[in-house]
A and B are shown apart, each in its own frame.
Chain A
């Protein structure tokens, strides 16, 4: 129930602007990280030595030991910030789903995809980070052993498309929201978004196949 029983005095506050900046910056930072992450793991396609050399560099410079947990914090912070816009109550979820179905509008559906993938990434990404960061250093052999054992291949076959969808849609949406993508180049940017998703999915799948076939 809401009633008009008070006379609120408007007070200047940059809170929402600050949170929006932070949401965008953590998102952009995580996109940059995911692309760098892809370079690290896909280097195994060239050979275990290439991946070990890159991982060794991150280890020697403490980027894995310090950067890893920092990325984890940015990941959780980004979730908290972006969750401000996601409906967590059933009525809100029903409204946005009914709205997307009614409208037949791709960008509205893309937002739904972003919200759903966010929840899956929150859980699976946390598990992935915990497993990797509590078992440093990162080596091609350890990653291969993990993927070759148990249900980890299935785990990554789910996590990979979730992350790639979330990252490419997020990249597009930052451009749209902050006005870098304008009406004139929106169609082109959407093709770029699809292109990025496709390229990273192909690289990711080849990387997973390489890990599966990498001899212990």
Chain B
């Protein structure tokens, strides 16, 4: 028999001075293979056209539908209601700028992050459009691809205790981004140049190792291993610099 799901959804409109943050209860009959994305669309179509939430691809690729589902950040389109209890609480992602109900602005955060991490291949080589593309070792290419799979949903940042405490912390998404360029042989940045970006408490040394980023990442990125790798690498870079000075 189909369940009736009870949704408690966060409602707030920061643009309306009279709006007060509150939870609103909705009931909805469960369909087979229902995802939270489908449930939210049905709620909007059938019960409240003013309900705000983000979505785009419906396939776990765009990262737009990330919300906090019963306390855990995750993607609405990848979460099936059959895996959840009858009572489902939906909240917007913390840390990011609230736009309304379940919608937050992750775009500004990620743009700032890309600027901070200088998220592009740094090279002095002049591009020759007629030259054959340089070959890359397949294992390295796969390693880069593995880290490139980040869909910028913001779940890792929302789940990060340090990011909750300190808005200037770069978070796992940014550190993973740097790790991606460290691996890339085309990027000519030295370890010291990477250190200048993340070798501080805003970057890798701010990480307290709570690992919620790893545990909630909807794409299963190897964040724990990257954070450990970067801490060792940046720690050793700092030691080398101290001895060089001496």
Contacts and interface: CB of A to CB of B under 8 A. Distances in A.
A35 B140 CA distance: 42
Contact of A111 (B206, B208, B234, B237): B208
B242 A14 contact: yes
- Chain B contact surface mostly: helix
A160 interface: no
Contact of A177 (B72, B94, B228): B228
Interface in B198-246: 199-201, 205-212, 214-215, 222, 224-225, 227-229, 231-232, 234-235, 237-239, 241-242
B200 A13 contact: yes
Task: Give the 10 A-B CB pairs with smallest separation, nearest first.
Answer: A179-B228, A17-B238, A177-B209, A14-B238, A20-B205, A16-B200, A176-B209, A16-B205, A16-B201, A102-B71
B164 A176 contact: no
Interface in A171-187: 173, 176-183, 186
15 contacts: A12-B196, A16-B205, A17-B195, A20-B235, A85-B162, A96-B161, A102-B71, A103-B71, A104-B71, A105-B159, A107-B212, A108-B210, A179-B227, A182-B228, A183-B224
A12 B232 CA distance: 18
Interface in B64-101: 68, 71-72, 91, 94
Contacts of A85: 162, 206, 208
Interface of A: 10, 12-21, 84-85, 87, 92, 95-96, 99-105, 107-108, 111, 173, 176-183, 186
Contacts of A20: 205, 231, 235
B224 A176 contact: yes
Contacts of A104: 71-72
A179 B232 contact: yes
Contact of B164 (A95, A105, A181): A95
A21 B201 CA distance: 12
Nearest to A184: B225
B57 interface: no
B235 A21 contact: yes
